[in-house]
């Protein structure tokens, strides 16, 4: 069985619409492990004909993929699975309605942070597609951490010192004139950690964060 993608960026509005149908979301979630339409019908207690219809729509948009076909008497049973382990809808699916950092004047607002993060997602969707097409790795770097400040003044001082340190690093390593240089986008943002009631992350993510002060990922994904 071929390995499935770790992440599927859903970039087209049509694909997003197909995926976001409530029943299709349930079907894709159930298909983390391969199953047939009959198996899904039994588990979800929904008529097999209805399951088959939605599976066809999901397969058209490459959200579900065929794993194998099994002969059962005079019938052929199709075994399918979700085409990726997880899915993320690219903000570009909204077209002209997608958020744009250049249209937000307040650079310290949460709206601007969201817009910058959304632009990063759009850029990564394009770059991942290009890397997959050329069968090359995509160089990335991720820094993730959680800080508990004793006061608002401490948070302000931290942000100011971080900005100054980052400015020094940029001045040290940025070279506008070197031949063959490669540009990288770098952004930093912070926001209050949501409470457990607000469901910030899965249990494994919370456990990982509580077990280490910070996480750095340098990769070629």
What CATH number does the domain containing 32 carry?
1.10.10.10
Give pTM, 2 decimals: 0.74
Domain identity same for 123 and 143: no
On whether both 112 and 39 belong to a single domain, the answer is no
Instruction: Give yes or no for residue 89 having a pLDDT over 70.
Output: yes
- Predicted pLDDT of residue 66: 93
Q: Tokens 């299709």 label which residue? A: 24
Q: Where is the domain boundary, 106, 136, 166? A: 136
Angle at 75 between CA 60 and CA 47, to 5 degrees: 60
Considering the domain architecture, whether residues 195 and 217 belong to the same structural domain is answered as yes
Q: Are residues 198 and 215 in the same domain?
A: yes
pLDDT range class, residue 196, cuts 50, 70, 90:
confident
Tell whether 94 and 80 lie within a shared domain: no
Of 27-31, 39-43, 198-202, the poorest mean pLDDT is in 198-202
pLDDT one-digit tens code per residue, 49-64: 999 999 999 999 999 9
Number of structural domains found in the chain:
3
Contacts of 148 (CB under 8 A, 6+ apart): none
The pLDDT of 25-47, averaged and rounded, is 95
Q: Tell me, what's the pLDDT at 203?
A: 40
Residues 99 and 159 in one domain: no
pLDDT confidence of residue 204: 45
145 contacts: CB under 8 Å, gap ≥ 6 = 213, 214, 215
Average pLDDT, the chain: 87
Cα distances from 56 to residues 62, 86, 106, 168, in angstroms, run 10, 20, 46, 55
185: domain range? Answer: 139-221
């Amino acid at each position: 069985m071929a390995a499935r993608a770790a992440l599927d960026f859903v970039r087209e509005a049509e694909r997003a619409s197909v995926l976001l149908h409530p029943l299709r979301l349930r079907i894709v979630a159930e298909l983390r492990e391969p199953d047939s339409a009959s198996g899904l019908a039994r588990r979800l207690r929904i008529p097999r004909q209805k399951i088959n219809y939605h599976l066809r729509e999901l397969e058209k948009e490459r959200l579900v993929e065929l794993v194998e076909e099994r002969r059962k008497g005079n019938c052929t049973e199709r075994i399918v699975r979700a085409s990726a382990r997880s899915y993320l809808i690219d903000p570009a699916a909204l077209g002209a309605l997608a958020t744009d950092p250049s249209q937000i004047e307040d650079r310290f607002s949460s709206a601007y942070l969201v817009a910058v993060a959304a632009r990063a997602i759009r850029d990564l969707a394009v770059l991942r597609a290009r890397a997959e097409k050329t069968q090359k790795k995509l160089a990335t770097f991720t820094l993730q951490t959680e800080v508990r400040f004793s006061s608002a003044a401490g948070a302000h001082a931290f942000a100011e010192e971080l900005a100054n340190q980052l400015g020094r690093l940029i001045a040290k390593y940025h070279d506008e004139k070197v031949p063959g240089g490669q540009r990288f986008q770098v952004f930093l943002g912070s926001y209050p950690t949501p409470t457990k009631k607000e469901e910030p992350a899965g249990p494994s993510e919370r456990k990982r964060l509580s077990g280490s002060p910070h996480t750095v990922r340098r990769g070629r994904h």
